[in-house]
C-alpha cells in the first residue's frame, strides 16, 4: 500500500492553529487541499492565513514564488461539508470532545466515498471510540501531528481496534511522503509521546511539592545536567497549564487512575487561579513585560578536596574519574565492600543518586545523574539535615573544580534527573511490552516529539538495563503508594538482558 497520489484531494476539518498547520503540510507536499470549518467565514480566514505563511516561506527562500502560487491555486475553502465530496483523505482537528468528533465523522460518511481515508488528530481521546460510531471503522486512523505541524517532523499514526492494516499503512506512507517522520502505534491512552512523557512533568512537580527544590532550580538541573531542551516548569508555561493538566488527567483516567499517572495538586492550583502560563502572563513564572526570571539555586564557591578515594568505580558516572584527574585532584582507588562511591578527605561519601534518601546514612551526599558529565554545566547535590557541612562543602568544591555549577537541593530520593529518566524508561519498556510500539519507534517519538536528548531505550542501554528498575525499587520501598512502582515489564526487560549475556 502506497501513499496517496498527489492528485488526490485532502480535506482538513477545523481551521485553528493545528488545522491550518496540517493543511499547509499537505498543500506544500503537492495535494489539492480543501478547508472546512463549522463557523461561517473561518475557512476563508484560514486560507488567507495559510497564504500569508506561504509568503513568509518565499521570503525565507524555503519555497519558490512559483511554488507558492501553485499551492495557493490548490487551496479551496468550502462553506458546506458537502464541499468535501470526492476527497481521498479527511483529517479532523476540531474540539477535543468525543461526541463532537463522532458526530462529525458520521456526517462525513454520508459525503465522502467509501474508500476515503478518515483521520483524527486527537491527542487525548481514544481513536477506537471515535471510529466506533462509523459505518466503516476500518478506514479510520489517528494522525497525531505535533504543534507547529509544518515544523515538527513527528506524526503518530494510531491504529484503533477496528483499523484495517491497509488504512494504517496508507496513512503512514502518506505522512512520510509529506516529509514527516511517522511512527506506528496502537490506540492506548496518550499514544507514545503523551504516555511516556508523563514522568518528565510528574517527577518535577513531586520534587517541588516536597519542597526539595524550586521551579527554576529543577528546570536548570534538567537542562544543564539532564540535557533536556527545556525544563518542565518552563515547558508547561509554554504549552499552557490547562492544556498540560488536561492531557495528564485524560491519561490518568484512561488508565483507571493508575498511581503512576497521578496529576499534580500544585498544577491544579495554578489552573484554578487562572495562571496558565505565557498566554495569561503568569504560570510557574511571571511572563509580564520586564519581569525578572528567578535564578536557580547555585552554591557559593568552595575549596576542592586535595584528593578523593574511588571505591568500586562509579557505574554510569564513571567518566567523572577522568574529569577529576584532569582538574588536578588526586584519585586514589581501592576495593569497596559493596557499592560504588567517592570518599572525601573528611570522611564524607559521594554517591550517585540511587533512589535512597541521604537521611539513611551518615555523611553521605548524593549527586544526580547527567546525560554527559563532561558536557554538563550543572550538577545537583542532595544531603540530609544531619550531613556534616564539611562533607557538603568538599562535595561542592569538587564539582566546582570540574567547571560545574552546583545546585544543592533537599533530601530527595532519586534526586531530579535520575528519578525522571528511570520512570521514563519504565513507561517506555511497558509500552513496548504491551504492543503499543517498537523500541525504535518509541525512541524516535520521544526525540522528535518532545526533543529528548536520548530515546528511553538509548538511555537504558547507556545506563545498563537493570539501572532503572533498581532505582525504582528503592523509591517504591520508601513510598509504596505505587506512583514509582516499577512495572513487571521492566523487571522482565532487565532479566532478559542477563540471560542474553550468559549465552555463549
Catalytic option among 123, 264, 382, 407: 123
Asked if 89 and 174 touch (Cβ cutoff 8 Å), the reply is yes
Q: How many C-beta atoms surround the C-beta of residue 96 within 10 A?
A: 17
Is residue 386 part of the annotated active site? The answer reads no
DSSP 292: P
Query: Coil, helix or strand for 34?
Result: strand
Catalytic residue chosen out of the listed positions 31, 92, 124, 156:
156
The most distant pair of C-alpha atoms in the chain lies apart, rounded to whole Å, by 79
Catalytic residue among 92, 124, 144, 159: 144
**DSSP conformation letters of 371-402:** S-TTT-SEEEEE--TTS-HHHHHHHHHHHHHT
Distance of CA 317 to CAs 34, 246, 312, 360, 369, Å?
55, 37, 12, 22, 7
Beta sheet of 405-409, edge-to-edge order: 330-334, 307-311, 341-343, 349-352, 364-367, 378-382, 405-409
Q: Strand, helix or coil at 470?
A: helix
Q: Is 244 a catalytic residue?
A: no
Catalytic residue among 194, 225, 250, 382: 194
Element (H, E) at 10: strand 10-13
Q: Determine how β-strand 117-120 pairs with β-strand 89-92.
A: parallel
Residues with Cβ within 8 Å of residue 341, at least 6 apart in sequence = 311, 312, 314, 349, 350, 351
Active site residue 173: no
Q: What is the DSSP letter of 280?
A: G
Cβ pair 133, 30 in contact under 8 A: no
Known catalytic residue: 194? yes
CA dist 472 and 135 (Å) reads 46
Cβ atoms of residues 121 and 91 within 8 Å? yes
* CB under 8 A, 24+ apart: contacts of 456-459: 456/196, 456/424, 456/425, 456/427, 456/428, 456/429, 457/425, 457/428, 457/429, 459/421, 459/424, 459/425
What residues act catalytically?
Answer: 123, 144, 156, 194
Amino acid at each position: 500500500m502506497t501513499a496517496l497520489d498527489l492528485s488526490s484531494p485532502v480535506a482538513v476539518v477545523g481551521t485553528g492553529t493545528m488545522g491550518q498547520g496540517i493543511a499547509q503540510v499537505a498543500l506544500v507536499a503537492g495535494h489539492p487541499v480543501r478547508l472546512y470549518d463549522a463557523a461561517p467565514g473561518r475557512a476563508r480566514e484560514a486560507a488567507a492565513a495559510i497564504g500569508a505563511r506561504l509568503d513568509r516561506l518565499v521570503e525565507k527562500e524555503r519555497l519558490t514564488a512559483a511554488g507558492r502560487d501553485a499551492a495557493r491555486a490548490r487551496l479551496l475553502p468550502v462553506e458546506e461539508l458537502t464541499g468535501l465530496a470526492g476527497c481521498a483523505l479527511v483529517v479532523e482537528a476540531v474540539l477535543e470532545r468525543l461526541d463532537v468528533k463522532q458526530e462529525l465523522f458520521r456526517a462525513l460518511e454520508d459525503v465522502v466515498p467509501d474508500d476515503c481515508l478518515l483521520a483524527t488528530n486527537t491527542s487525548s481521546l481514544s481513536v477506537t471510540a471515535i471510529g466506533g460510531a462509523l459505518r466503516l471503522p476500518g478506514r479510520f486512523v489517528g494522525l497525531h501531528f505535533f504543534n507547529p505541524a509544518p515544523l515538527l517532523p513527528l506524526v503518530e499514526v494510531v491504529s484503533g481496534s477496528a483499523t484495517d492494516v491497509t488504512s494504517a499503512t496508507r496513512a503512514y506512507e502518506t505522512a512520510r511522503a509529506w516529509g514527516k517522520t511517522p511512527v506506528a502505534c496502537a490506540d492506548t491512552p496518550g499514544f507514545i509521546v503523551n504516555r511516556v512523557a508523563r514522568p518528565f512533568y510528574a517527577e518535577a512537580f513531586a520534587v517541588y511539592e516536597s519542597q526539595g527544590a524550586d521551579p527554576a532550580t529543577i528546570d536548570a538541573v534538567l537542562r544543564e545536567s539532564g540535557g533536556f531542551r527545556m525544563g518542565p516548569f518552563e515547558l508547561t508555561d509554554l504549552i499552557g497549564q490547562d492544556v498540560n493538566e488536561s492531557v495528564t488527567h485524560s491519561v490518568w483516567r484512561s488508565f483507571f487512575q493508575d498511581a503512576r499517572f497521578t496529576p499534580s495538586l500544585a498544577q491544579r492550583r495554578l489552573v484554578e487561579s487562572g495562571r496558565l502560563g505565557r498566554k495569561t502572563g503568569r504560570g510557574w513564572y511571571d511572563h509580564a513585560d520586564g519581569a525578572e526570571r528567578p535564578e536557580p539555586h547555585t552554591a557559593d564557591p568552595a575549596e576542592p578536596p586535595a584528593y578523593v578515594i574511588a571505591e568500586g568505580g562509579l557505574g554510569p558516572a564513571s567518566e567523572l574519574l577522568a574529569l577529576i584527574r584532569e582538574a588536578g585532584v588526586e584519585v586514589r582507588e581501592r576495593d569497596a565492600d559493596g557499592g560504588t562511591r567517592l570518599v572525601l578527605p573528611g570522611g564524607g561519601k559521594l554517591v550517585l543518586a540511587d533512589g535512597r534518601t541521604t537521611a539513611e546514612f551518615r555523611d553521605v551526599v548524593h549527586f544526580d545523574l547527567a546525560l554527559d558529565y563532561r558536557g554538563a554545566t550543572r550538577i545537583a547535590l542532595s544531603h540530609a539535615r544531619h550531613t556534616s557541612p564539611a562533607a557538603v562543602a568538599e562535595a561542592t568544591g569538587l564539582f566546582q573544580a570540574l567547571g560545574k555549577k552546583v545546585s544543592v537541593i533537599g533530601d530527595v530520593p532519586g534526586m531530579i534527573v535520575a528519578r525522571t529518566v528511570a520512570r521514563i524508561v519504565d513507561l517506555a519498556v511497558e509500552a513496548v511490552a504491551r504492543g503499543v510500539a517498537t523500541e525504535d519507534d518509541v525512541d524516535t517519538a520521544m526525540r522528535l516529539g518532545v526533543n529528548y536528548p536520548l530515546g528511553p531505550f538509548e538511555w537504558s542501554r547507556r545506563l545498563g538495563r537493570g539501572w532503572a528498575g533498581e532505582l525504582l525499587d528503592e523509591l517504591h520501598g520508601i513510598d509504596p503508594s505505587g506512583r514509582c512502582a516499577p512495572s513487571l515489564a521492566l523487571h522482565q526487560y532487565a532479566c532478559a538482558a542477563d540471560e542474553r549475556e550468559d549465552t555463549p
